[in-house]
Structures are given as C-alpha cells and as structure tokens.
Structure 1
Amino acid sequence: MGEELQSLGFQKNGIYIAEYEYYPLQRTSLNQYKKAKVIPSKNYGKYGKRQPDGLVVERTNSKDLRVIGVIEYKQPKEFQSEAQKKDAVEQCNDLCQELNSVFGIISDGENYIWINPKMENSENNYIDRTTGKERSYSIIKNEDKKFLKEPFILQKKSEKDKEKLELETENTLFYIKRIISSISKTNSILKSIEEVNPIKLATSVWQDIYVNTGKSPTKCLYNVVELFIFKFLSDLEVLKSPYNFDFVLELSKSNNAKEALNYYANNCRKRIKNELFPAGKDGTTILNGTIFVDSKENAIESQASLFKNSLEKYSKFGSLNNIQKDFKTKLFETFLKQSSDKSRLGQFFTPRKVVRAIIEMADVEKLKPGTRVCDPFCGVGGFITEIFQDPNRKRDFLPNAKGEIKPKITYIGFDKGNDEDDERVIILAKANMLIYLSEIVERYPTFAPKFSEVINETFHFLSDSNLGTLKIENSEDEKYDLVITNPPYITSGTTSLKKEIENEGLSSKYTANGKGVDGLCLEWIIRNLKKEGKAFIVLPHGIFNSTQNKTLREFLLKHCFVHGIISLPIKTFFNTPQKTFILIIERKENIDLTQDFPVFTYLVSDIGETLNIYRFETEGKSDLEKAKELYNLYKGAPKSFPADLIGDKRCKIQPLSKFEPGSNWDIDKFWTKEEKIELGIEEEENIVTIDEFRDKIEDLMVKLGEYSEFITSLKDEI
C-alpha cells in the first residue's frame, strides 16, 4: 500500500461524501490505488505509475469498483494560455479513459473545466503522448448549452449524511449526480431538471381577481404574486404547519373561507413579512397585495370566497418546485400585455427581449469580483434579475462554507416614490428577485432570512425626496462599473425637480442643462460611472435630436466614449409610443482622451415579437438579435470591424464626426429613403405627447432665434 495512503489515514476508505469516497492525494499511483482496492484491478501498463491529483470513487459494491471522477489541479501560472489548458485537459482525459471514469475536472482553484471522456469530439482529437493512443473528449455543458463552470469543492471531513455536508460540497455533489444521470457516449449536455411552468395558473387566478374586483391589472398582479410566494415557500417547507398553504387550504374547507382568510392575514402573511423576509431599511418586503388585505393588513372578508377559490386553483396545480425559466421572464409581460393600463409598472416596464439583448451585450458573465452594477431607475427590477439567468452570476448566490450569502458582484436597484402605489413597484422587484433565485432557494430553504438580507441589499425604495436617485452622491469607490437602465421619459415636472436640486445644494452636479427628467438621469449616470465603466441606457429621441440637449451631448462627449446607438422601433414599449434608442457609452479614464474609433449603429424594426397588444413571438432571428451579435463582434475590434463585409445593411459604422454636440444624433437619418425602402422600413409615425409637442415648438423657437441673430449680424456687416 502506498505511503501516502497510510500516512494520511486512507488505508480503509477515503473521505466519505455521501455514498462516494474522495481521495485528495497527489503522490499515490494507480498501481498503489489498485493494491488498496480503491480502483478496479487491471493492468494499467505505462499508466500504473501515474499519480492523479484526486479521485472520486464509488465502492458500495466491492466487486464493482467504479471511478466517478478524476481531478487534475494546476498552478494558475500553468493554466493561463489555451495551449496550457488543452495540455492539462488531455492529461486528465488520459487517466479518465484508463480508469473508465464518468467525468474529469481540471482546475487552477479559480477556473473549472468539466469533461466527458466517453464522448468523442473531432475538435478535441489528440494522440496520447504516453501510449500513442488516439483519444478524444467533450466539454460538459449546462442545460443552456454553455460550458459548465461550477466549482469542484469537496470537504476534508467524512460525512455520509448528505443533509450534513458543507454547503460548497453539497453543491459539488449536486452537479456530480446531475452529470452521472445526464452524460453518455453520445451526450455531454446536462439534462434539464423537470420543471413546471405555472403561467396558465397565474393567468387564471389573475383573471378571477380582475373580473371579481375590477381593480387595475397591476393591482391584480400584486395579489397573484403574493399567493404564488405563499404556495412556493410552503412547497419548500420554508413555511411549515400551521403557517403553510395546506393548513390554510384545509381551514377553508373544514370551517369557512372568512376564517381561513383571517388566519392567513394574521398569521401566515405576518410570518413571511416579519420573520422570513423582513422589511429592509426602506420599509419594503416581498408582499404587497391589497385585495385580500387592506392597508392596515386586516383581512377583507368580502374577498374570502375569491381567496378560497384562488387557493384551490394553486392546490390543483401541484408543487411549484423547479420553476421554468420562461415563467420567471414572462410573468410581468403576460399581464401587462392584456391591458392598456397606464400605471407606473407598465409605464417603465422594459420588454424582456430588449432586456435580454442588453444583458448579453454587457458581458455579465465576465464581470470580475468586486464589480458594482446598478439600475438607478429599476422599476420591477427586470435588468438586474435578468443578470441572474447567467449561470456564473446565479452561482454567486450560493451559500459559502461559512453559511453566508456573499455575491462577488454588488447589485443595486433604486426606485422612488412617496405612496403605497410607488412602494409596491420595488416590492415587486424584491419578489421578482426571489422568483429568479428560486432554484437556489429550493436547495437551501433554511437560508430564507439570509436571502431576504441579500434581496433588501439589492433593491431600495427612496422616499425621502422627490429627486429619488438624483439625490444620491457617490464617492469614487461607490460609483458603478456597469449601469443598465431605462430611465423615465417625462418633461413635465422638470422645472420643479431642478428647483429641488437647487434647494438640496446639488446644482454643481447638474450642469449639463439636460431637457426633461431623462436628461437629468443621463447626467447622473455619467457622473456616477467609474472610470472605464460602461452604461447601456434606453433613451427617448429627444436626447439625440433636441437642440436643447446640445450642452448635454457636449458633456457626454467630454466625459465618455460613445460605443454604439441602436434604434428601436416605435411601440417597443407597452404603454408608450415614443421612439427610443439604446445608447452604449464608456466613461473616459481621462477627459483629455480622444475617441479614436467609430460608433456602432443599427436600425431595428423587429425586436422578436409583434408590437401590438398581443406581443406574439415573430419567426426567425430578429433584428435585435442580429444587432446584439454584431455589436459583440464590433466591440472586440471597433477600429477594424468590417461592417461593409458583414452584408447586413441595417448596420453602419459611423465616424465620430457625425456626433457633434450640435448635430442630430437620430441615427435613422443616416439611412437614405432608398436604403430604407430596400430594407422594407416604412417611415414611422412618431406620435408625440403634448409635452413633447411643446418641446418641439421650443426647439423650433431656439433655432429661429439663432437664425434671427445670424441675419441681424449680416445686416450689421452690410
């Protein structure tokens, strides 16, 4: 038996990880493992003296020893280049195939590559340098077909009870079991966990509430979400009897609906709000329904029958464990598109297609630890929660070995208001975050209060001033590396806001004289970006073409590089006909730097769904998807991006000279009428509000004044 096996106490068994055994040894050869009956007894030939960095084995049946995983560790300096990584993977794969291992894991302690040694891939064919054998392997992918990058961390203390495993070990075991049940000689993609999509359930409950109460669609939605959370937390056993869903349901059947509703309001609801998910410093939590309870949180007994019927529908549906991704992304849109409701929720809700495109352009999967991300005007939190769809970012919310939830990235969302209706928007954002993180909450249900802390640290309701986010002053360290947002587009009330800015002593922070609230928002974003920080902002046309925003555009060019402007079609947003654009900028490290690369521009007519109330999916790849893909190519080499060779006439790379402060930045004007006809673009009817029409008149008056001064000067010269 090998000295290392003896000296470290592995004579009889390895470190138990539930039913498996882990051998974290680096000086024990395959022959020594064979002699100790850790691995199958066979002739390992030239590999007999090879020493793997670690093994995971299954020895429940001594007559059928099974190697589950082979581990290959490298120093970070040996795992930097693609050649080094390829060499390390091949070393691991050699041993995997000799041992008939299910998988291999290669890591430098920070990065992880999981391989399937049993599935060939012609791109990964190579000659084994030890034996001259032809070998191949495939990289294991998650169910989203992206490379699996989960950490491989196993504890150093034996534990057969999987319920008592350390958290990071539990996560590794979770993926080991998924790999075992998924991969084969013909598949290296993890199978999706059987998921449920409660969208029909939610729609049915929403319709009942809407028909019975006549309340606005968004108020009905608040209550759908509240009951959903009640059932979800009960299914996870975060809520146990007598506070859970089943207890209240039985109460409604055996006694009466009014008693059940009163019990829910006085007990279950308070347990969720006060103990499991207590309010943050801003006073908001994750529940905000006002149809079954009043503003004082007393049961509204007139709605008891509706409450009982809703419970019965949720009960009939079954468990809400393993919620499908589609439900998370489409929950709010499903109800907004059913009405022309003009509430704040609908007013500032960014369509999921637009959100997803922006997130995928922002490289969220590459964010470094310590990065600060902000949506300063977050509404229901769509931009921030969409980031959590990325596996790397979702993994940040796994509890660590100390039992803490400490995301590597700081996420912050702000929304303002001064009444209950405004407050409900940020409450929905918090509920939305819980739903997006549901698969992690499912695995760690006892951590509900800690998830609550993280949610409260993410979304903030600002009620101490009408300025909201505009009042926030950040130090250099508090500024943001990435801003993704869709600020409000209104001009009415701007004068009073500017007066409040003056009264708060903030005039020096708003010198660009932006027209409208969106202009003030853009200046705030620029000032609160870190140097080399990036922003993706959805803005109305006035920012780009109004003469009154000339100073603002001058301020923008002074402090930022302009990477791109993407034109979105009118009616992209549910409840506004405004023409909008995605502006992509980067804060300069030094204002003396000159932009030496051109600007990416793209005309989008199709965002992937119809622009009417129904919002049906459109066929094929949308213009917005194409714009996203081309921008991601452009940003890799902006100076040499071959737009003319791409063959997409909706894409143009414009010289910076076209974006002088006094010029019109409406990129639609950069395509001729003939080019638009060729692209099948009809001239859009730009519907304007009274405030916008007034702005246009004021713009015209400014221009007429400039012409008048010019004519007067000519007369004086003559």
Structure 2
Amino acid sequence: MNRRLARKWYDGIDRAKEILDISKERDLTLEEIEELKTLHTGYGGLTSFKSDQFFTPEVVTSFLVDMVDPKDGWNVLEFSCGCGAFLNALTQKNSNINLTGIELSYDLAQIASLCYPKANIIRGDALDYLAEFEGRMNLVISNPPFGMPTVRKNFEVARRASEQYFLEMAVRCLKPGGVVALILPEGIFCNSHTKPLRKWLMEKCYYLGTISLPIQTFYFAGTGVKTSIMLAKKKYPGHEAGNYPVFMAICEEVGWDNRGKPTGKCDLDKIREAYFELKPEQDAYLENSKTEFDVINF
C-alpha cells in the first residue's frame, strides 16, 4: 500500500475512534453513523495490519450477497463481521432477514452494533458459538480470518488453520438447503492436507461454485493473498442430486490494479450474469429427483 493510501487508512482509524468516543457520551447522528460505516471501507478497519484478517471491499460484498440473494425471514450468520461490510450489503439487499454477526475485536463489534442496530452483534470468538448456532441458519456468509494456527474440540475434520474451522462451522450451522458463501485462501481447494476437509464438504453439501479472485482484490487492506469465493448448499437428508452442473469462473479485473489505481474494469457483473443463467438448471437438480433429468457432460 502506498503512503497516500496508508495515510488515509490511519486518518480513518483516528476519526472512527473519535466517533466511538462520542457515542459513549450521546446518541450518534445519522450523518455520524453513515460516516462511521464508510471510514473502514477498503482500508482495513480499526486494527493494525494483520496477516490473518483482510477486510472485504464493497464491490465484493455486494457481488457475493447478490449471488446468494437472501430471502425474507432467513436466518443469516456472519461470523467474522468486522465493522459490518457484509452486514451493510445484506441489509441493503433485504432488510427482512434475521441477521447475526460475531466479531472478536471489541472496537469493531461496537461499530457494527452502532451501524446495524437491528442485527444481533455478538462480541466474542465465533468458534466458541458452534453449538449455539448449529443447524439454525439459512445462510452463512463471511470472509473469515485465515492462516492462524488453531486447535479446537468438537470439530469433526478441521485441523491446523483457522479457515478450516470456519468452513466446518459454516456448514454445520446451516439448515438442510441452507447456503454457505465464503472467501477462502486458494490453498484450501488444492492442498493435500486439506483433502479430508474437501471430502467431508462434498459429503455434507452440494458444491455450487467457485469464483477465483485476483490478487489485487485486497490491495486496500494491505495484502495480496490469492483467494476464491466458495458457494455450497447443505444437502437434504436422503436426497441425491445426481450429476448437477457446478459454476466456475475466474475474475481477472476487480476495478483496480495491483497498485490500487482504478482501471474502470470489473468482471464481477459478467460473472453474476453467467451464474444466474446457470442457476435455474442447477436448482432443478438440487431441488428435485435426479431421475427426472439427463446427465450434463462438461
């Protein structure tokens, strides 16, 4: 990240902390709440740069929420909600959902609570809440921290790194037919040591698709980690979908280059259109018996 952007990042931190202090003395105005929402967007929130936590740019949160299209009455979990990037996209898409966010950082959880008062914001370690939310959610959506060595009990296959635990938790928190949408490091899709986790995922879920993101996606959060979006749907008990179609896409342009310079190019709109062209056929396989359909060869 260059000096100008870093300075903007730190200025945003200072102003956000100032507004947080004001909130302890009086109710914030609508203008202050809107300012608080935008201070962290793309610049990493109120914490110093960390290798395990990358705040998600708005173009990506909006894209991913559009892809999952939450319906009225859904129970939605964001288990590393930060200041509320996904909460913002979710409430803009559909305000008639039951939204829960979990965040470890006290400051970030406080901001999320102030900006999204209708959401249930929990300040704590999300992995401690598996039992509370298991089997309750229609949607789990997140860009969870990854790369942190973690050891937890009560998990079936997750080992070593935090992203494995968050993936298992997401699947286990879903109701049958519920959807998981996560941003994950690409290694989880191909490394040999994550093969048992992938096998478990395919046993529990219908795999809907993968969208590979370019390394510049998280430039404004101070990192160039290669990531992909994963979409999956929890299986219905006793139901087999057959040889259903899976969506795969590579996003090469996200709106800025690897130096943060705007390019005016973004592939996400075209990817969304392509996904929704495939989705009716995919839904037909997943919601009905496989015997009613011919197998699609790719």
Q: TM-score range by the shorter chain?
A: 0.7 to 0.9
User: 2:275 is paired with a residue of what secondary structure?
Assistant: helix
1:484–1:535 contact (8 Å) kept in structure 2: yes
Change over 3 Å in CA distance of 1:384–1:320 after alignment to 2: closer
Aligned to 1:358: 64
Aligned to 2:288: none
Query: What amino acid is aligned across from residue 354 of structure 1 in structure 2?
Result: V
Change over 3 Å in CA distance of 1:413–1:551 after alignment to 2: same
Change over 3 Å in CA distance of 1:523–1:320 after alignment to 2: closer
- Aligned match for 2:268, one of 617, 620, 624: 624
- Give, in angstroms, the shift of residue 348 of structure 1: 2.3
User: 1:472 is paired with a residue of what secondary structure?
Assistant: helix
Distance 1:341 1:582 in 2: 25
Distance 1:634 1:411 in 2: 28
- Give, in angstroms, the shift of residue 590 of structure 1: 1.6
User: 2:254 is paired with a residue of what secondary structure?
Assistant: coil
- Aligned match for 1:348, one of 54, 57, 60: 54
- Give, in angstroms, the shift of residue 632 of structure 1: 1.9
2:180–2:232 contact (8 Å) kept in structure 1: yes
User: 1:598 is paired with a residue of what secondary structure?
Assistant: coil
1:515–1:549 contact (8 Å) kept in structure 2: no
- Give, in angstroms, the shift of residue 580 of structure 1: 0.7
- Aligned match for 1:479, one of 136, 140, 146: 136
- Give, in angstroms, the shift of residue 341 of structure 1: 5.1
Question: Is the counterpart of residue 460 in structure 1 residue 143 in structure 2?
Answer: no
1:36-47 superposed matches below 5 A: none
User: 1:561 is paired with a residue of what secondary structure?
Assistant: strand
Aligned to 1:305: none
Among all aligned residue pairs of Structure 1 and Structure 2, give the percentage whose two residues are the same amino acid: 24
Note the aligned Cα RMSD (angstroms): 3.5
Change over 3 Å in CA distance of 1:331–1:628 after alignment to 2: farther
Change over 3 Å in CA distance of 1:372–1:562 after alignment to 2: same
Change over 3 Å in CA distance of 1:428–1:488 after alignment to 2: same
Deviations 1:213-237 (A, max 9, x none): xxxx55x5344135557xxxxxxxx
Which protein has the bigger strand share?
Answer: 2
Unaligned segments of structure 1, at least 5 residues: 1-202, 211-216, 230-264, 278-318, 395-407, 417-421, 434-450, 463-467, 641-652, 656-718
Distance 2:25 2:58 in 1: 33
- Give, in angstroms, the shift of residue 429 of structure 1: 2.2
Aligned to 2:244: 597
Distance 2:166 2:187 in 1: 13
Query: What amino acid is aligned across from residue 425 of structure 1 in structure 2?
Result: L
Distance 1:476 1:460 in 2: 12
Pick 1 or 2: higher relative contact order, CA cutoff 8 A, min separation 6.
Answer: 2
Distance 1:372 1:545 in 2: 31
Query: What amino acid is aligned across from residue 469 of structure 1 in structure 2?
Result: A
- Aligned match for 1:333, one of 27, 38, 41: 41
Distance 2:242 2:160 in 1: 25
Change over 3 Å in CA distance of 1:335–1:594 after alignment to 2: closer
Deviations 1:81-132 (A, max 9, x none): xxxxxxxxxxxxxxxxxxxxxxxxxxxxxxxxxxxxxxxxxxxxxxxxxxxx
Aligned length: 281
- Give, in angstroms, the shift of residue 331 of structure 1: 3.1
Deviations 1:175-225 (A, max 9, x none): xxxxxxxxxxxxxxxxxxxxxxxxxxxx9xx96xx9xxxxxx55x534413
Aligned to 1:409: 97
1:578-589 superposed matches below 5 A: 578-589=225-236
User: 1:411 is paired with a residue of what secondary structure?
Assistant: strand
- Give, in angstroms, the shift of residue 368 of structure 1: 2.4
Change over 3 Å in CA distance of 1:269–1:577 after alignment to 2: closer
Aligned to 2:84: 381
Change over 3 Å in CA distance of 1:528–1:320 after alignment to 2: closer
User: 1:347 is paired with a residue of what secondary structure?
Assistant: coil
2:41–2:85 contact (8 Å) kept in structure 1: no
